[in-house]
Each structure stands twice: as C-alpha cells, then as structure tokens.
Chain A
Amino acid sequence: MQGLRILWSRLRWLFRRREMDDRLNEEIEAHLELAMAENVRRGMTERDARYAALRSFGGVEQTKEAHRDTRGFAWLDALRQDMMYARRTLSKSPGFVLTAVAILSLAIGANTALFTFFDGYVLKPIPIPDADRNFELNAIRARARGSHLWSYADYQQVRKSSNAFRDLYAYAGNDIRVLDPEPFEAHAVFVSGNYFLLLGGKTIMGRPILPSDDAVPGRDAVLVLSNSGWQRIFHGDAFVVGKTLRVRRRVFTVIGVADPEFSGTSPVLPDLWIPLAMFDDVVGGGLADQENHAFFIGGLLKPGVAVAQAHDSMLSLVQGLNGRHPAGSAIVDVSFYPRATYVPMRPDLLLVIVPVFVLFGLVLLIACADLANLLLARASARRREIAIRLAMGASKGRLVRQLLTESLLLSLAGTAAGYAMAQGAIHAIHGYVFQVYTKLGYSFHPLTIDWRVFAYTAVIGIGAGIAFGLTPALEATSLDLARGIKQEGAAISLRSRPRRITDLLVTSQVAASLILMVLAALLMRNAQHVAGIYPGYNLDALVDVRFDGPKAKLIERLKRDPRVLSVTEVWRTPLYGSLNVLPGLANGQAQPLGYSYVDDHYFATLEIPVTRGRNFIRQELTAGARVALISEATAQRLFGNADPLGKVFQVGAPNPGDRFAAGVFQVVGVVGDVASGALYMGNDSTSVYFPAVPGDARNFGLIARLQAPVPPMITELQHLCADIDASNSCQPRILRNVAWMQTYPYEIASNVASGVGLLALALTCIGLYGVVAFAVVQRTLELGIRIALGATRFDVLGLVLNRSVRHVMWGVVVGTPLCLALSKLTVSVFFMLETFDPVAYAAASVLLIAVATTASYLPARRATVVEPMVVLREE
C-alpha cells in the first residue's frame, strides 16, 4: 500500500517537474529570507546575514539535486538529461559519429546476418503445429552404408502398428518431367495423404492433398502447387485450380496452391506435391518393392510420450518386420531425428557453430576496440571540460553514466544501421551461400528476421556500447582535478605517458585480424587447391547425360553427331560420392576394393590411358566374362611390383544389385589412376572396373565427350532427348558443374572468410589511422620542440611510426600462436585440408603489416609538417 502510494506520487511529480522545481526554489528563497531576517535582528549586516544564512543552509544546488532524487525516477530524469547532453555533444562532431556508426554497423550487421542464418535453421521452429514433437525416423540397417530410408511397405506397417505417434507421414522427393502446359523439370515431393493435415499445410487456393487422394494407387492424378511451382509453371495464373499438367502418360489436375509459408519439414520448397499413391505412375516401380528404400518417414509424437519410450516401442515393432528383409537390409535400430527446426541442435553442431560465432565475434571486438580508441582520444580532448564538471560537484558516477550514455547512443545508431544492413542483404547472402541449389532451380523458405534476431542484435549492440564505452569513461573521469583544469590541450601530452590501454587495444586488434586473415588465407588456398585438382579426366569436355528414357536410342543418335567425340555407358558416373566397396582378396591378403561397371568405351571417352594389357572387348561385355581392369594404384596394392596381367583376385559377398556371384576375376589390363569420388581425397586408393553389359537397365550413367564449346550443346542435347522421348527427364550436366557441387563449399567458405578477414583488416586500419592521427595532434608541441632542437623530419616520422609499428608487430607475434591453435579447432568446420600452410601465414602477416603500416603512415606524415615556431608561439 505504502509502496503504491509512493509510486503514485512519484509518477504525479514526474510530470510536474517544473512545478516542483518552482515550489522548491520558492521554499528555499523563503527559508533564506527568514534566516537572514533573524540574523539581521541579531545585529549582522545584510551581507553577513545572507552569507551566514547560506552557510547554515548547506549546498543549495545539492539540496535541489537531492530533492529531485527523492521526487522519484531520478534515473529517468537523469537519463533524459544525459540523452539530450549526448545528442548535443555528438551533433558537434558529425565526422566522428559517422565513422563510429559505420564501423559498428558493419560489425553488427555481419553478426546479425550470421545469427539470422543460425536462427532460421537451428532455433526457429519450422512452421508446423507442435513442431517440437515432430521426429523423422532413420532406419539403421545391418549393412553399413545402407539407406536410412524405408520401403513403402515398411511405412504402411509402421503407421498401422505404432501407438506412440499421433500419426506418421511419409514422403519422397523426385525430379519429374512436366510435358504440358510447357516442358519443365519440376522438383516434386510425393506425400502420404495425411501429410498436409498433420503438418498443418494450408492452401491459398483450392484444397490440400487429403487422405482420400492417397487411398488407391494410381487412381487420383492430383497435385498441389507450391508458390514457386505456381509462379514457375503457371506464371501465377489466378485460375490455376482445375488446370492440368501432363507427366508421362498421366494428366494431373491442380487441386490447390499451398500457402507460401508451407514447405513441409524442409527449408527447400518443391514445385509441387503429389499423393504417394501416384509414385509408380510417375517415377516407376517403387511402392511394391520391399527393397526400395526411398521413403522418408516422420511423425508427431503423442503428447506425454517420451522419445525413449517411443523409440523402444518403435524398435520392437520394426524388428518384427525384419523377417521380410534380406539379411543385409535388416533394421537393427531406429534413430529419432528431431525435426522441430530445420537443423536440430546437437553437440556436434555446436562444435561447428561455436567457432564460427567466435570468429564473427572477433570482428565485433575489433570494432569495439576501434571505438574505444576513438572515445579515449575524444575523452582526453575533453579532459578540461570533465575536470571542471568534477570540480563543480558532479559525482564521478554521474559523469561515467553520462559518457556511457554517449557510447550507448552511438551503439544504438550503429545497431540500427547494422540491423537494417543485415535485413537488406540477408536474402542475397542466403541465395549466394546456397547457390548450388538455387542454380538447380530450388527455391528456399525465405530467411526472416524474427524477434530472436532482434533480441540478439540488441544484446550485442548494448554489450558493444558498454564494452567500448566503459573504459574510456572510467579513464576520462579519473584525473587529477587541479592539473586537468590548469593545463591546457597539448601541454598535457608532454607529461602524460603513452596510453597503455590504447596500445593494448591496438595489439589485440592486430592479433584478432591476423587470426581472421590467416583463416581466410588458409581457406583460399584450400579452395584453390580443391578447384585445381585434376581428377584424371577432362571435366570441361565431358557431359553427364541424365536421361531417364530409352538410352540405346539416344546413344545411337549421339554416335551419329560429329560433335560428340565418344559415348560410354556406365553403372555410375564419377563425382557423385565415393566408390562402392567390395571385400577383395589377392595373394592371400584381404583388400577392400572400390569398383564400378563400365563398357568398352569408358576409357576412351574419359581419356584414361590403358597403361598395360588391353581394354574390354565387346564379347566380354555381353558374355559377362569374369575379367576386370584395375587402376595402377590397385595393381600396386594387390600385386606389388609383380606384373598384374593375367593375375587373379577374389571378391567376396557382392552388394545387393551386383551383377555377379562371389569368386575369381582375372586382370586383363591396367589403367591410369583417377579421382572419381570426393575430389579433395585425391585419386581413388583402389578402383576395379568390371564389364557392363551394353543396354543393361542398371547402367544408370551415360557420359559423352563433346567437342568444344560444350555449354551451347547442353540445350541441343535436351532437344535430342525430347525428340526421342519427351516424357522423361533429361538434365545433361557438364562434369565441371558436377565437380562444382563438391568444390563450392570450399569456395563459399573461402569467400565468406575473405570477406570477414577484409572487414577485420579494414576496421583495424581505421583504428590505427585514428590512433596515430590523434597521437600526432597530441604530441604536436613535443614534436615542434624536437624539430626546433634539430630533429629531422625523418626522425620525427620514425618517432611517430615506431610505436604503432611496434604494436602491429606485437599483434602478429601474439596472433600467430593463437592462429595455430584456432585453426586446429576449426578444421572440421571449414573442411580444412591443411591447417599449417606457411604460405598462408606468411601472406596474411605480410599483408597485415604492410596495410597497417600504410594506415599509420598516412596520418604520421602530418608530424613532418609541424612548424616549430607556429607550435611554440601557440603555447
């Protein structure tokens, strides 16, 4: 009750400030007059009476201040004053404000952008109801490297029997060829009938897919367009519902357009959704095949059911199904993959995320150091003003608060600018980082800035404001009053010691930027290295003709075209993941063997030299002869230096889908080594080529070597495919672009790191420039005297430069071991191949020293034009 009353009266008085001030003034005046009157009565002169009255009253101003404090919300009042004062002071130096805001906005913008990514993928729940109960199920199979996905029969069984989930949905993504209204390669997701209902998928037109659409295989040829499919296929036609699309022999009716917010459980937006029951009509035999592990299963846990509990019941359920599976694909465990956000927060993810945040945080720290230095310089220019305020009775705490208000105001402006920058650029950055997908026509659920990002930005902004503002504020207010007032401007500098804090800040800035620059250099070298790897075949001349239609016809047509130099059929095209492996045995030694099936044109097409023995002959292919070609590295491993030709080796249990039984193969030839898996791992350690029967449906790959220029041929190839069979997907890719899918993460990491490194370098240089420029101004008198006493201009320049160069050097000395330690930690984050690369270290250090020295030299030149007479006369 009492508290409420005080609050009320304080609130009342808060808005009657002027009135309360007047009242107090009046009271004090009356008080003094009454006191004076009494003193006069006692026989003092008027003058003495007034002084005596004032003396016994104590400090009038202090009383007013205390009165205001009691009145309540003094801090609010003080804040208002501080804000106004800060605004006034800052508006007097627009150049300083602009520099400070620019520095801060860059650093805060970069950090906000980073956090927006983190938020969008890791923190923000995916836009479905009860996202925290959404789990995807992974089947862990007996055979290593087996698929984690499920067969359709598995899904139906699991869905029917599971009682831990409210319901389970299934989906599979496939690229399909749309024929009408115009040919289009569409990204389709086949979904179970309950998918939209369970995940809360709304439509902006028509209706979503319903369980009844998925009831009978092949019956309901319907589809729902995504926003991107609607735009890309129907160009945003407002009357699209009811229109049709032709895919293969089926004509699909558009039943709805999904809400742009809805993208299922993935951030990648497909063009359209089709009921799973139509899978076989579009993609081809899959639903009935028990071994077709092509389907994702997910579901929403029932409220109150714990994951462990659900896991146990799911595991026993799934093990009951194992009788239907061959031994290799038996399911030994089920893992629950949380799908509350696009990327679940896990310890291993933190290992990746934390270093990245630390590195971006370094940029912010550099910016803070810049601002601290700028403010320190300003503070010492304001020494006299502060000394006077202290002398007039301002408390130190109040002054610190005032100076902090100034820095907070700056950081507020910087934060706002940085936030705006991040918001403006995030879409472009997002597109850039995921360009490998956007170039393939995928669109993404847009990253939006939400309250988390806002809160994060506000926190780092305020944190930065305090971080860079506190030290200068404390430093500025701790001074010897008498000296502060008496001594003027430059004269102080003669006696003031070089600033320890400034030196420390500069050194740490340099160290921090060195870390970022070395990292950038390492990643750049890394990317260069990976991009420069020669896999053993010409990436620019080879095209992976991804055609689902009749290949024999296409090969025939290709062979007739003079621009097509060579064509080969192969089980799997290189560069789509590492080679499958078989257990091998030669000379009594076990040896895992990477392998592929190729026809007799493979080596000629890829221009891989047959160094010993011979290529396959046609009869060997068609007869399925037990002969093989092996790479040189394989020959070395299996047979050492002995001549491998005619030698035999054994292969053990084949993988499902293999074309032979375990047994003996004879080596007929040796070919050059190539890199066909992950490029950065270099040449395949083993590679065995088995004969592929021409025309075999399992020859999934078709590779052609074309005459330059290759890129214009791509469209022609597509036309050629369409000519043969327009209903099938045909997406030729130059192998260079396939390789790019592997190299682009390096490229992106390198470019992002370079951007961050350059930002750090720029911020450090701005800081150095400011520090040196200020030092020159501060030491003008000293420099003038030195010149008057005979120092040459060169001496003076050296004097000024010496200090900053020394700190740059120190920064490099301190930064290098930190780099060594940090780069080891970040190996896993940036797919780093080599962490100690002397060239990267040397290049980064030299660049840093050179640029930093230049940044100090520019303002230092001003020291050489100091005119001693002018300076001395001014004093």
Chain B
Amino acid sequence: MKNSKPPSKSDVLHGTLALMILRTLDGLGPQHGWGIARRIEQTSGDALALNQGTLYPALLKLEQMGWIDSDWGVSENNRKARFYRITKAGKKQLTEEAQNWTRISGVVAKFL
C-alpha cells in the first residue's frame, strides 16, 4: 500500500520533522495537529510531501521526550481538539537542533 508521490515534492528528510514541529510550536504558540500540518506545508511553500498522518506518531514521540506537552482545547470551529505546546526542554532542544542544522546545511552547501 505504497502512496505514489508527485515527483516535484520532496520527502520529509529523516529527523527534520521534529525540528519543524518544534519550530512551528515555538513560533505560533499552542497549536493542534491540523494547524501544525498546515503551517509546515505553508512554510515550505507546499513543496513538501507531508503525509499529515505521520505527524501524530512524531508528536507522540516528542511528548515522550518531554519536549512538548499537550492538552484538550477548543478549535476555531468550536471543536474539541488536542493542543500541543513547546516546553522549556523543547526550546532548549530546538536551539541545539537549529544550530546543528545550520552547521550541517552550511557544510552541505559548500559542496553544492
């Protein structure tokens, strides 16, 4: 049951989804899954083939690591939804990861 993907979109690079989620939550404040997904897609200019469903296991993982927290809230259309927010540990992690990423992408860029 493999999904065929339009060739123009890139796969989400392994390990970067967490970074994107953390960044989104850091920028937007508490957000539900749909909101995070939309934000990532918009930010990437719809260039990413994000299976929105893959977000949820990733969110769970981040929660296990203690980088985000979640609680029930009410969405824009008055629906019960789960809202995620970044924790202190998450912010620290985000800074580290961001620095790391900048360094690596800088190195990679030198090759291109």
- Chain A residues with CB under 8 Å of chain B are 2, 5-6, 9-10, 23-24, 26-28, 30-31, 33-35, 37-38, 56-60, 62-63, 66-67, 69-72, 393
Contacts and interface: CB of A to CB of B under 8 A. Distances in A.
B106 to A, nearest CB: 27
20 contacts: A2-B66, A30-B32, A30-B33, A31-B32, A31-B52, A33-B79, A34-B75, A34-B77, A35-B52, A56-B52, A58-B3, A58-B52, A58-B54, A59-B51, A62-B1, A62-B53, A67-B57, A67-B60, A70-B60, A71-B60
A5 B57 contact: no
Interface in B57-112: 57, 60-61, 63-66, 75-77, 79-82
In terms of DSSP, what is the predominant structure of the interface of chain B? helix
B57 to A, nearest CB: 4
Contacts of A37: 77
Q: Which 7 A-B pairs have the closest CB atoms?
A: A58-B51, A63-B53, A34-B34, A58-B53, A30-B81, A66-B57, A70-B57
B18 to A, nearest CB: 12
A393 B2 CA distance: 9
Contacts of B65: 2, 5-6
B2 to A, nearest CB: 10
B81 A34 contact: yes
Given A34-B34, A56-B52, A58-B52, A69 B57 contact: yes
A394 to B, nearest CB: 10
Interface string B29-62: 0001111011000000000000111101100110
Contact of A27 (B1, B61, B64, B82): B82
Given A5-B65, A31-B34, A34-B79, A57 B60 contact: no
Interface of B: 1, 3, 32-35, 37-38, 51-54, 56-57, 60-61, 63-66, 75-77, 79-82
Contacts of B52: 31, 35, 56-58
Nearest to B38: A38
Given A30-B82, A34-B32, A24 B56 contact: yes
A5 B81 contact: no
A438 B49 CA distance: 81
A58 B32 CA distance: 18
Contacts of A69: 57
A58 B79 CA distance: 22
Contacts of A62: 1, 53
Contacts of A34: 32, 34-35, 75-77, 79, 81
Contacts of A31: 32-34, 37, 52
Nearest to A2: B65
A28 to B, nearest CB: 7
B77 A66 contact: no
B44 to A, nearest CB: 14
B57 A63 contact: yes
B51 to A, nearest CB: 3
B61 A60 contact: no
Nearest to A393: B1
Contacts of A72: 64
A60 B53 contact: yes
Contact of A9 (B35, B64, B75): B64
Contact of A26 (B57, B77, B82): B82
Contact of B64 (A10, A28, A35, A66): A10
A63 B54 contact: yes
B53 A57 contact: yes
A31 B51 CA distance: 13
Q: Of B3, B53, B63, B76, which is in contact with the most chain A CB atoms at under 10 Å from its CB?
A: B53
Contacts of A60: 53
B63 to A, nearest CB: 8
